[in-house]
Chains A and B, each alone.
Chain A
Amino acid sequence: SFFFSSRRRHTRCSGVSWARRCVQETDLKELIKSNKVVPYQAPVASEEFESWALILLFIGFCLMMWFFIYQITYRKVERYLIKELTIGLLSALFLGSGTFFFLLSVGLYM
């Protein structure tokens, strides 16, 4: 099946069997010149990956320490499940995103 949306993107679908997809007729150079198309900016700039990784991992480790200390110092009956869950999940959030930015900063893009 062909995706035929010539109204918006001016595509032309050829009948040649190997060209199963429609070929873009609008030249990318013209789109860039007329400013209809801009360079892609990632949500976080690559220069900031290390900073984000360090801060997030640091906060994550602090929360993780708090979690473990909380587990150790209070007996089972004295602990609150809600507090455990929130600290645990918050710590996972920070550690998870910190690890993710750490991997991005060493060049392992997913």
Chain B
Amino acid sequence: MKKKKALNTYYIAVPREYDQFLALILVRDKNNKDIVPVRIQDNSVQAQYNATIYKVDLTHYVESNQEEQLIITETYFNRMSALPKKITIFEDQNVEIYDNPHFFSPYPTEKSQTTYKLASSPIFYTEEDATAKGGNIEYGPYRNDGAFTRSKIRLHFENTRPFPVFKNVTRVIEVSHWGNIAIEDFYKLANEGAELTGEYNKVDFNKYTQHTGKNSLKNLKAKLPYNSWGVYYKDEVGNISTSRAFRDSASNSVDMTIEPRFALLGGWKSNFYIGYNLPAKYTLFVEKADPTNYYLRQNSGLIFKGIMAEEFTIKVILPEGATEINYQFPFPLNEVSEEKSFSYFDFEGRPTFVFKIKNVVDYHDQTFTVNYKFSQNSIIREPLMILAIFAAVFI
């Protein structure tokens, strides 16, 4: 007779057709601890059932015949597509989504129920096993599903909001030991909602009213660190003055609202820079026992909450002469590389670390640390060079 043993591993399956749109998957157990599952390379199961399997290492063992509660959160992008793809400036945007209402899992399921929460009653929903309660469509309860149960339902509903996406975000963090960290972000913003049919007409579209271009992107809200100073918002043309910033001690941040030069209709794009400075004493730390050992702590997420970045590149430029550089991120990175940057008075260049993360969502809004050794006396090099220039004039 087989002895039943305790388990501390759980496997999650995601249909292959949806896995390419999966930005984040998180598992929370009854102790409220977040666990990040790891994608595994089991090719036979994945090929047979057209699924991607993720492995979860639970924090404790689950004894046989015992129940365990897990909350699995999956964040997808690009699952909703505008239908109709093109609308006039006066129409409302409608989107459709396909999904599997059964619980797709490598294990059999005794009972499952899926609820789709929409803002309002949908235009269309697949009727089979469905109960509609206003904006909430319930599918199920399904009993005794086998492993990898597949089915497809379609929802078509109204969603008049813009769909902002950052195609690329690049952040450059420059550390100066004279007491300042300079940060400049470059954003490639796109509105991936329903496009405009015909031509853009300034008579019909008035960005100050609610009646036209409801799915156009008119402004964005950002939260900068509380001690930011010298904030600017510009693009290749020049400074953009339509922005407001307010240092809010209640939310411990600088709340910034930016309005691009033009409202972005569906399919339109806009690039811009946002830069700010931080006094070094809030994010740069030095070890008491070894004053040449420095720790730089920075945010690893975007200043815009609720918007996904398809690719986020963080470049940390350390002062010339920094050595033994280590880094620590709270989540895995897609790519890490090292290069040299050249700025004022540089001979060998400043060590630069480039970190790349794909599909960045609000979960990535944490902090990362870069640790390096630097001899404080080297900072005298910059004033000495100015001195040398002046001395040459006199001699």
Contacts and interface: CB of A to CB of B under 8 A. Distances in A.
A46 B179 contact: yes
Contact of A107 (B277, B282, B335, B343): B277
B230 A44 contact: no
B142 interface: no
Interface string A58-73: 0000000001000000
A42 B282 CA distance: 12
Given A92-B393, A96-B387, A100-B386, A36 B289 contact: yes
Contact of B178 (A24, A38, A93, A110): A110
A110 B285 contact: no
B297 to A, nearest CB: 6
A67 to B, nearest CB: 7
A3 B294 CA distance: 16
Interface in B177-220: 177-180, 182
B237 interface: no
A43 interface: yes
A80 interface: no
A23 B316 CA distance: 16
Nearest to A63: B394
Of A11, A43, A92, most buried by chain B (CB within 10 Å of CB) is A92
Contacts of B328: 23-25, 28
Interface in B13-48: none
A97 to B, nearest CB: 5
Nearest to A95: B390
B345 A110 contact: yes
Contact of A88 (B174, B297, B394): B394
A107 B284 contact: no
A31 interface: yes
Nearest to B327: A21
Contacts of B295: 28, 31, 37
A98 to B, nearest CB: 9
A32 B386 contact: no
B389 A96 contact: yes
Interface in A46-105: 46, 67, 85, 88-89, 91-93, 95-97, 99-100, 104
A38 B390 contact: no
B236 interface: no
A39 B111 CA distance: 55
Given A21-B325, A89-B391, A92-B393, A40 B281 contact: yes
Contacts of A36: 287-289
A39 B179 contact: no
B285 A40 contact: yes
B287 A18 contact: no
Nearest to B284: A40
B333 interface: yes
B70 to A, nearest CB: 26
Nearest to B179: A42
Contacts of B393: 92
B300 interface: no
B383 A96 contact: yes
Contacts of B382: 100, 110
A96 B177 CA distance: 19
Contacts of A42: 177-179, 280-281
A91 B386 contact: no
Top 3 A-B residue pairs of the complex, sorted by shortest distance between their CB atoms: A42-B179, A96-B387, A88-B394
20 contacts: A3-B326, A20-B338, A21-B325, A21-B327, A22-B326, A23-B327, A24-B369, A37-B286, A39-B281, A41-B281, A42-B177, A43-B376, A92-B393, A92-B394, A96-B383, A96-B388, A99-B390, A100-B386, A109-B176, A110-B178
Interface of B: 174, 176-180, 182, 230, 277, 279-282, 284-289, 293-295, 297, 324-328, 333, 335-336, 338, 343-345, 369, 371, 376, 379, 382-384, 386-391, 393-395
